[in-house]
């Protein structure tokens, strides 16, 4: 199984506002997941212009620490721009 994962952030300095993934098992896409996350910092206008996630949309969402367990458990992870995502 491969888990393909992506995040949306508050800006270039990090702060996750969304995490999403799909699993690939035997060449088939399975287990799509997506969670909005309450960030630990304000969302920059530049980031909002890209992902369209607003402060109001995430104000009552869980913190990333509450969401991460849903995304654990794969032996392999694939991410676009992983060097950035690993920092946040």
Q: Where are the domains of the chain?
A: 2-87
pTM for this model (two decimals): 0.89
Nearest to 57 by CA among 47, 71, 68: 47
2-87: which CATH topology?
Nucleotidyltransferase; domain 5 (3.30.420)
Cα 52 from Cα 57, distance rounded (Å): 10
Reported as a single tens digit per residue, the pLDDT across 31-74 is: 999 999 999 999 999 999 999 999 999 999 999 999 999 999 99
Reported as a single tens digit per residue, the pLDDT across 21-31 is: 999 999 999 99
Nearest to 39 by CA among 69, 61, 68: 61
Cα 46 from Cα 81, distance rounded (Å): 18
Nearest to 49 by CA among 80, 13, 19, 8: 8
């Amino acid at each position: 199984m491969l888990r393909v994962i992506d995040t949306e952030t508050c800006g270039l300095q990090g702060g996750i506002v969304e995490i999403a993934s799909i699993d690939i098992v035997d060449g088939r896409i399975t287990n799509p997941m997506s969670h909005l996350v309450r960030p630990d910092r304000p969302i920059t206008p530049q980031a909002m212009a890209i992902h369209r996630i607003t402060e109001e949309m995430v104000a009552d969402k869980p913190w990333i620490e509450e969401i991460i367990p849903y995304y654990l458990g794969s032996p392999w992870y694939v991410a676009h721009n992983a060097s950035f995502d690993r920092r946040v």
